[in-house]
């Protein structure tokens, strides 16, 4: 039974692969139309040459066999180049099909207010920006939005491919939801943040399919270089008949076209679009949506990474592990004060303070007529104003000292306790009542496994890592040393991230950062690469130029590697293509002129059978090398952390020297195979 099931699956995969290939070849033929060919000048010249050789053969400029052979080989060359681009696009469309399944004819329950119990059933397409909708367990979320009430576990497999449910909650940085995903438990009220037809899923599909693909700056620059080289060689080849006239050498159009095709960089010209599309596809395979190919490419050039400590370097689930009261304060007093300040603190840390106090036997009673001060990333304080006039606050050391209008130098015990907690890599939170410091809460976090090795890998690439944290300098230094980051910013506010990015950019560096909250949006927009979390707020996703569907902050490291692989792949194949041309010169030029100019025999190192076999051998090699390189263009050259000098050396040895030697061998072998056929 199991064997039968596997057999059926294998048959289905084979059928799918066959259809996939058929679709790619169909699109390759469609791309022969002038409106498509003009987008790739190098291959457009080859296509024009194909037509010229066909017409020249028909009017008797060369033997029928030779002329049609050249025409056929040139046609195959163009089709292989088109196929490379078509197969890359087909892969993207295949990836988009699963996304399209999530975009169904959904309905929505629209509410008049978030407290409304009755909603009106409408089509999801009728939803407008800022509409409020209710979604219950078992229902699909009809539109992109932010949860403004409630929490729920959500299955995002339709978008991310990950079946494990995720928690989304109002009032946190994990409040963003995507249309087409499914609510598994509880009830949520969502505020719509995208118009119909402009949802995150719609844009993802368009990007993945390639309809919105824009050429990257490097791709444009290389395309211009290839075009200039092509024009230069056209001028050179067109001058040859005039030179031949003085030497009494007649060169027919078919030979001229063949020579031109071998001189111009057809290999990289044919593969360049596929390399660009494949870069986007590799990003998607890593569950990253790049809003443009430029973003993928820039990622390969970044030399500074700005990373949040929490969730990126550490697991992010900091938990209160101990209360340390100062002299004259009982542990119960400290616990009570800490609990009161945490009642309005929705962060995991705030919740853990309440949980620890309960575990230690503290009764939690919410006071009446009290004013809660919610936690704020800017002030880094939460607290409560009691009805009797007392003010209690909990927060970072410097923030609490500022609140209590006190100096650390006057609190030797507090200073010692904070140092003790920080030296362990934990985070100290200080609690104060009015102007009196009550004690310290210890928050413990754990550094992620393997993170130190990843930073070492980045250092090998010449990339500087900067950790950003709201912790005090002692804690930040301890964690930075343990994690192996190059630098850190302690007691950071949202604007500090922005300032740090600007400072590094002013020094000429390209900066990447990761974020998920609305307060991260300015920094994400300022950074050269902004990686937003899919679970984050809509503002963050709009500001970033990449979105991580897995909401894994460490994915930034993978983004850099994908970008570098893109640059390395294009560089390696360009080197190989240009090196190929050198060998083809030695194959064709001596064969053309050696009969009339015996002195050129010294250049005829390949000793090919005849001028016709030399031309056909070079053209055949020129045609077959493109499909042979398609897997490398789509998969990318294997990336190893190394310096620019090491990369250049490896490129020149493997793809430069190899690109020169391979054609010599291959063309000679092809010549030995076809020479007997031509002599018949």
| Half-sphere exposure (Cβ direction) of 455: Cα atoms closer than 13 Å | 23
Strand positions, DSSP E, 59-156? 107-111, 120-123, 132-136, 145-155
Measured distance CA(564)–CA(559) in Å, rounded = 9
Structure tokens at 558: 């993978």
Tokens found for residue 494: 């949202």
Helix then strand count (H, E) for the chain reads: 23, 21
Q: Catalytic site residue 308?
A: yes
CA distance 73 to 51: 12
Whether residue 320 contacts residue 350, with contact meaning beta carbons closer than 8 Å, is answered with no
> Nearest CA to 50 among 26, 73, 19?
73
For residue 9, what are the contacts with CB-CB under 8 A and spacing of at least 6? none
**Which residue in 308, 345, 520, 550 is the catalytic one?**
308
Q: What's the rounded Cα separation, in Å, for the pair 297 and 292?
A: 9
Concatenating the DSSP letter of every residue in 376-407 gives ETTTTEEEEE-TTS-EEEEE-HHHHHHHTT--
Torsions phi, psi of 548, nearest 5?
-90, 115
Asked whether the beta carbons of 222 and 272 are under 8 A apart, the reply is yes
What sign results for the dihedral spanned by CA atoms 182, 186, 187, 191?
negative
Q: Is 624 exposed, middle or buried (0-12, 13-18, 19+ CB in 10 A)?
A: middle
Please write down the long-range contacts of 227-231, taking CB distance under 8 Å and 24 or more positions apart: 227/41, 227/42, 229/264, 229/265, 230/41, 230/42, 230/45, 230/264, 230/265, 230/269
User: What b/e sequence results for 468-493 when a residue is b if at least 16 CB atoms lie within 10 Å of its CB, and e otherwise?
Assistant: bbbbbbbbbbbbbeebbbeebbbbbb
DSSP per-residue string spanning 607-654:
--S-HHHHHHHHHHHHHHHHHHHHHHHHH-PPP----HHHHHHHHIII
Q: Give the end-to-end CA distance of the chain in Å, rounded to a whole number.
A: 58
CB 254 within 8 A of CB 575: no
Among candidate residues 113, 173, 189, 105, the one with its CA nearest the CA of residue 142: 105
For 518, the token pair is 């609305």
What is the rounded distance in angstroms from the CA atom of residue 660 to the CA atom of residue 652? 10
- Angle value at C-alpha 210, between 270 and 143, nearest 5 degrees: 170
Q: Which residues are catalytic?
A: 308
């Amino acid at each position: 039974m199991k064997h039968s099931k596997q057999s059926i699956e294998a048959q289905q995969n084979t059928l799918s692969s066959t259809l996939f290939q058929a679709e790619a070849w169909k699109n390759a033929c469609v791309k022969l139309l002038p409106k498509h060919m003009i987008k790739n000048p190098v291959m457009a010249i080859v296509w024009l040459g194909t037509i010229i050789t066909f017409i020249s053969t028909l009017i008797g400029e060369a033997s029928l066999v030779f002329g049609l052979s050249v025409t056929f080989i040139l046609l195959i060359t163009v089709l292989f180049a088109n196929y490379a681009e078509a197969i890359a696009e087909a892969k993207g469309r295949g990836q988009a099909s699963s996304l399209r399944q999530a975009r169904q004819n959904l309905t929505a329950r629209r509410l008049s207010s978030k407290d409304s119990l009755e909603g009106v059933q409408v089509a999801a397409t009728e939803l407008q920006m800022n509409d409020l909708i209710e979604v219950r367990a078992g229902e699909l979320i009809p539109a992109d939005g932010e949860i403004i009430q409630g929490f729920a576990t959500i299955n995002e497999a339709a978008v991310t491919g990950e079946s494990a449910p995720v928690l989304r909650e109002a009032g946190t940085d994990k409040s963003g939801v995507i249309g087409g995903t499914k609510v598994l438990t509880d009830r949520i009220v969502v505020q719509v943040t995208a118009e119909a037809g402009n949802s995150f899923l719609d844009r993802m599909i368009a990007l993945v399919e390639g309809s919105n693909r824009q050429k990257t700056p490097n791709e444009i620059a290389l395309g211009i270089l290839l075009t200039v080289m092509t024009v230069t060689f056209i001028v050179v080849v067109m001058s040859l008949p005039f030179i031949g006239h003085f030497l009494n050498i007649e060169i027919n159009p078919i030979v001229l076209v063949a020579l031109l095709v071998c001189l111009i960089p057809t290999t990289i010209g044919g593969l360049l679009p596929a390399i660009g599309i494949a870069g986007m596809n590799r990003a998607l395979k890593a569950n990253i949506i790049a809003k443009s190919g430029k973003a993928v490419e820039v990622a390969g050039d970044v030399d500074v990474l700005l990373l949040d400590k929490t969730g990126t370097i550490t697991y992010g689930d900091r938990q209160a592990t101990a209360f340390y009261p100062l002299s004259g304060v009982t542990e119960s007093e400290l616990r009570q004060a800490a609990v009161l300040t945490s009642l309005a603190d929705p962060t995991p840390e705030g919740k853990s303070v309440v949980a620890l106090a309960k575990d230690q036997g503290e009764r939690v009673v919410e006071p009446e007529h009290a004013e809660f001060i919610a936690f704020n990333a800017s002030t880094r304080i939460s607290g409560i104003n009691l009805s009797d006039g007392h003010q209690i606050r909990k927060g970072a050391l410097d923030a609490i000292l500022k609140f209590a209008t006190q100096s650390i130098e006057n609190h030797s015990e507090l200073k010692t306790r904070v140092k003790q907690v920080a030296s362990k890599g934990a985070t100290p939170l200080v609690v104060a009542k009015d102007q009196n410091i009550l004690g310290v809460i210890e928050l413990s976090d754990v550094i992620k496994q393997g993170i130190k090795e990843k930073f070492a890998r980045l250092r090998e690439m010449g990339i500087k890592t900067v950790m950003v944290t709201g912790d005090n300098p002692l804690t930040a230094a301890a964690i930075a040393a343990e994690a192996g980051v190059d630098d850190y910013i302690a007691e950071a506010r949202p604007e500090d991230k922005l300032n740090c990015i600007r400072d590094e950019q002013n020094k000429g560096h390209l900066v990447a950062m990761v974020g998920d909250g609305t307060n991260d949006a300015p920094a994400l927009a300022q950074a050269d690469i902004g990686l937003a979390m899919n679970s984050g707020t809509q503002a963050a996703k709009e500001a970033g130029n990449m979105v991580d569907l897995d909401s894994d902050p460490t994915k930034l490291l993978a983004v850099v590697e994908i970008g570098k692989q893109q640059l390395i792949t294009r560089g390696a194949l360009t080197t190989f293509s240009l090196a190929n041309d050198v060998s083809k010169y030695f194959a064709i030029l001596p064969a053309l002129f050696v009969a009339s100019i015996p002195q050129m025999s010294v250049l005829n190192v390949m000793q090919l059978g005849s001028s016709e076999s030399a031309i056909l051998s070079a053209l055949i090699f020129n045609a077959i090398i493109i499909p042979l390189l398609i897997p490398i263009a789509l998969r990318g050259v294997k990336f190893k952390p190394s310096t620019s000098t090491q990369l250049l050396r490896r490129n020149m040895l493997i793809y430069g020297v190899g690109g020169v030697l391979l054609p010599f061998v291959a063309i000679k072998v092809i010549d030995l195979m076809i020479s007997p056929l031509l002599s018949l």
